[in-house]
Chains A and B, each alone.
Chain A
Amino acid sequence: MDLAPSRNDTLLIEAEGGSHSEFHLFTHFQPIFSLAHRRPVGYEGLIRGTDSNGKAYRATELLAKAPAGVPRMQLDRQCRAVHVRNFRRLGNEDSWLFLNVDPYIAVQGLRFGSFAQMLEENGLPAHRVAVELIETPFDDEKRLVAAVEHYRTIGCLIAIDDFGAGYSNFDRIWRLKPDIVKIDREMTRRVTVEPLARRMFAGIISVLHESGALVCVEGIETEAEALCATDADADLVQGNYFASPTTQLQPEHACDDLFARLFRNFRLETAEFYDQRRIRLQPYIAALADAVLALSAGADRASAVRALLDLDCTERCYLVAGDGSQIGASVETEGNVAARDRRLTPIRPVTGTNWQTKPFFRRAIEAPGKVQITRPYLSATGPKFCVTLSYALSLNGSYHVLCADLDFAALAGDDLAFGLTKLPL
């Protein structure tokens, strides 16, 4: 295949003294895979260059050579045209081409020649182009919206890059209503090394799904990162673990073995995780059931929950009436009293504290006789992450909910705390 840069793919930079330096521009394509389809559905075009001595330059180094303003804009447009031409030459007839656009240039570019025309001249249908807005601060968000609407009108997909970092935030999602959201690669890195990021990852992706976008996890370099993306229900994945950027496109089935292995490990880990969690929670669920029986038989609260409180990870028990208001104070374990954080004094629960908006209360009341288990969260009553077990029972003819907060870190240990993929800490 002929990839020799044509005359148009030469970048001329004029130095201050009037001398010129010349760069040859070419494209590296990195495949973007759909997890459900196990094949590339798109390619991101990345610019590379060499100078007359054959020295290689990366995108940032090249862009740094063009000063802000018109030269920068021309270079940006030139890069996109190079990608489109090279992509066409490689003969792919169905995948998306992802093109990076700086928000500033997206706005300014509206005044210059037409992007649609360039696509048409090169025979690439606009509906196969995903315009990717990189994360940079941009003051005039109204004009950015107009620029994005322009790309949408000509038929392109809109992608937001680097979500979760800097200015790539929810306000931009609401303004631009992207079709695809790419997660910041720094987040991808964090999820395997930081418990906090790991815990939130699935939630972040699920919220982005509700925005009506497909979610792409990029910068995947290890199997652990790939498993996290799989577990969090990403739609698209990209990164050197799957395929590095090259001048060629990926054969469609090149990663079949890799995906087969990935999904096999995913299934094994899922099964083991649920097994372990069930084993670990079993004694607490049994003790909760005993406490419920004792309460129904008329035992007083403190003695009914004693065995439950004696278990290692139980922090406190409390009884909530059908209207959501707490009955009496919480019964706390001795170990927990010492662990109290003075900073959280203003929000200690007391009689009458109302739990009716909490999902663990609502779910219990909706399904009496069934144990409900929350995801780990910071309880409004203490400084630690907890998991709440809740159970609706009938006392004196009305529903009550018995709740037990468990210390999540102690319960889960290192192997369960972070979800399916153990942290390589």
Chain B
Amino acid sequence: MRKRFLSLLLASALMTTLLAGCGKTSGETSGQSGSPASTAGSTVSSSTGSADVSNGIPKSDVYKGEVNQQTYPLSSEKITLTYWYPNASSMGTLADYNDSEFFQWLEEKTNIHIEFIVPASGEESQSFKNLFIAGDLPDIMYTQPQYHNYRDGMDAAITDGYIADISEYIEWAPNYVSWLNSIKTAKQDVFTDSGRMYGFWSFWDNMEGGYADQGLSIRKDFLDKVHMDVPTTYAEWETVLTAFKDQLGIEAPFYTSKKGIDHGEFMAGFGIAPRFYQVDGTVKFGPMEDAYKEYLTLLNDWYKKGLLDPDFATRKSSGVAADNDMMLNDKVGSLVDWGTRMTDAYISRGATNPEFWTVAVPQPKKSADAPDPAWREVNNNNHDIQAVCILVNKNSKHLEEAIRWVDSFYAKDVYLNANYGIDSEKDRVWYEASDGHRIGIYDFRYSNPDGLDSATVAAKYWAKNPPIRCEAAQIEQMPAERAASYAVWSKYPATNYIPVTVTMTSDENAEYSQYYTDLEAYIQENEVKFIKGERSLDEYDAYRQTLRDMGVEKCIALQQAALDRYNKR
């Protein structure tokens, strides 16, 4: 009977793969670390090149990828690159992203076959961390930096030899450079504090300041039924939600994720944000503010009155958008939603109610004459930068091809196809406006002739959130009342949030996560309790003291230091 040993071994069972994986990784990297950018006629040698680039961005005569500076095919013989692509929830009914017309077209153009690695929906963040343990990093990784991160920070991922410092290979990325030349904040945003580039950041085409693609929305048909207007203050919201509940019997008049709080849209009227935010360069932490208590008091009151989803704490989703099933069956009155998921998207997915109609709602304020909230949660995409960053594996066997492949997305002929559908689909998937720019065909997406739902159409004919996003024309394609939501959400200044491109050093990261992991769990737990009334809000000061004891002030200081450095870049 080896039971006592077994239990001890259990402790280490977790580490089985680590042990095997790590030895392998360190071996590989040390073997290849000395193979820099000496292939392809490079204009700058790698040693001095990186130093040059960190001081600035190489000049480019091309404006925002107007002319594609890559030569195709990128590879003379067919090669396969692996691409970690955490977009399982955007696949619709597609089995593989290689079934997408756009990616087939791109494969033909570049002569590079892409093997998509799509982690299960909801497991993306975990899957990303496991990539490093397994020691077998894909060639290219599509990441959203706030969810997919290397534990010691992205700077460390370069130091540790996993991720390519793009600034060393910048001559392979002429199209990206042409964009950097035209982005005001490029210098501040695309470099880390140590002057390195850990990946390809994504930009908006033709949309200064980006736009909000998610926000508060409400069922317009419900509003009509109870004869009310779109609410603007918290008091009006309460009236509307009460009417939804009492007159229409809606199960969840206001839908929240299982955390009970929103991403900031709804609480912004109190002058606060869910977690870290900044006011004039000073970092603040939502739960430590007095206004946060007021906000929780409001939610607690609403929960007691049945205006929130009574089952919110058990919902599986922790992000935006309600359970599909609840939305389609008229159980939700209002929620935070994606612009592209509204009305027609739900109808194409099988909403049963023929009057189904959601509209965007402005962020509520305390009183009608209060100033607009200085917050919008828009994938952190202020400036011209979107929070999507594509990383390249430093040890890829086809490093040059991988970089060139990613860079292709920044050339106009490629990103137009990625956004609207490939050239040959003209007049079926997209049409040409009088001034020559492309516009997607609305009916093709939302009342598809092949009977596909909108998500599947998007996956089949376009690339999901490509590095250059031309959302303007997608909004243009919408009927006016549908497109109106973007204007409603986008009018808020995004001054209060901390840019996703702020970076911490490896030591700061380690210290920060040591405190913050426990803090986040503790905060989530207590917020739910406060809302459900299981813990009295009179204890809020004691709660804040506990947060202090758990090191919240240290975390704020670390965020502040990182932000200060960012502002000085």
Q: Do A and B come from one complex?
A: no
- Listed in ascending order, the chain B residues whose CB lies under 8 Å from chain A are none
